[in-house]
Amino acid sequence: MVSPQNLAEWVQDARQRTIELVADFDDNQIMGPDLDIVNPPLWEIGHMAWFQEKWVLRQAGQEPMIRDDVDALYDSIAIAHDTRWSLPLPSREDTLKYLYEVRDRTLESLGKNPSEEICYHTLYTVYHEDMHTEAFTYTRQTLAYQPPVFSNPPGETVEGGSSSGDVEIAGGEFLLGATQDTPFAFDNEKWAHPVQVAPFAIARSPVTQAEYLAFVEDNGYTRQELWTQEGWEWRLSENAEHPVYWRKENGDWLRRHFDQWGSLEPHLPVIHINWYEAQAYCRWANRRLPTEAEWELAAGGENKHRFPWGQNTPTPSEIHMDWQGMGCSEVGAYETGDSSFGCRQMLGNVWEWTSDTFRPYPGFVTDPYVEYSEPWFETRKVLRGGSWATRSRMLWNTWRNFFTPERRDVFAGFRTCAIG
- Which CATH number covers residue 52? 1.20.120.450
355 close to 374: Cβ distance less than 8 angstroms? no
Gap between the Cα atoms of 152 and 159, Å rounded: 22
Gap between the Cα atoms of 75 and 273, Å rounded: 30
* Residue 147 falls inside a structural domain: no
Among the residues of 192-246, which ranges form H helices?
A: 209-217, 229-238
* DSSP-assigned beta bridge partners for residue 310: 307
Q: What is the pLDDT of residue 307?
A: 97
111-160: pLDDT as tens digits: 998 999 999 999 999 999 999 999 999 999 999 999 999 998 888 888 89
pTM for the structure as a whole: 0.97
Residues 192 and 264 occupy one common structural domain? yes
Residues 113 and 245 occupy one common structural domain? no
Residues 126 and 162 occupy one common structural domain? no
* Residue 148 falls inside a structural domain: no
Residues 380 and 284 occupy one common structural domain? yes
Of 142, 172, 192, the domain-final residue = 142
Residues 160 and 136 occupy one common structural domain? no
* Residue 149 falls inside a structural domain: no
β-pairing, 172-176 with 166-169?
unpaired
Residues 117 and 70 occupy one common structural domain? yes
Residues 289 and 410 occupy one common structural domain? yes
Please give the angle made by the CA atoms of 2, 360 and 405, to the nearest 5 degrees: 100
* Residue 200 falls inside a structural domain: yes
Residues 58 and 172 occupy one common structural domain? no
Return contacts of 8-14, CB within 8 angstroms, 24+ apart.
8/107, 8/110, 8/111, 10/123, 10/126, 10/393, 11/103, 11/106, 11/107, 11/110, 11/122, 11/126, 12/103, 12/107, 14/126, 14/129, 14/130, 14/133
Gap between the Cα atoms of 89 and 372, Å rounded: 24
In order of 49, 54, 257, 365, 370, the CA distances from 125 in angstroms are 9, 10, 29, 19, 14
- Cβ contacts of residue 303 below 8 Å, gap of 6+? 340
Question: How far out from the chain centre does Cα 87 lie?
Answer: 28
Q: In angstroms, how far is the first alpha carbon of the chain from the final one?
A: 42
193 close to 175: Cβ distance less than 8 angstroms? yes
Q: What is the pLDDT of residue 100?
A: 98
Q: What is the pLDDT of residue 420?
A: 80
Total domain count, the chain: 2
Of 112, 142, 172, the domain-final residue = 142
Residue (of 398, 405, 203, 402) closest to 289 by Cα position: 203
* Residue 107 falls inside a structural domain: yes
Residues 299 and 415 occupy one common structural domain? yes
Of 118, 142, 166, the domain-final residue = 142
* Residue 172 falls inside a structural domain: yes
Please give the angle made by the CA atoms of 186, 152 and 51, to the nearest 5 degrees: 35
Residues 284 and 340 occupy one common structural domain? yes
Gap between the Cα atoms of 398 and 184, Å rounded: 11
Domain span holding position 120: 4-142
Gap between the Cα atoms of 239 and 235, Å rounded: 6
Quickly list DSSP for 173-195.
EEEES--TTSS---GGG---EEE
- Which CATH number covers residue 343? 3.90.1580.10
Q: What are phi and psi of 126, to 5 degrees?
A: -65, -45
Residues 130 and 173 occupy one common structural domain? no
Residues 336 and 398 occupy one common structural domain? yes
Query: Which amino acid is located at 416 in the chain?
Result: T
Tell me the CB-side half-sphere exposure of residue 416, using CA atoms within 13 A.
23
260-303: pLDDT as tens digits: 999 999 999 999 999 999 999 999 999 999 999 999 999 999 88
Gap between the Cα atoms of 328 and 41, Å rounded: 24
**pLDDT below 50 — which residues of the chain?**
none
* Residue 354 falls inside a structural domain: yes
* Residue 353 falls inside a structural domain: yes
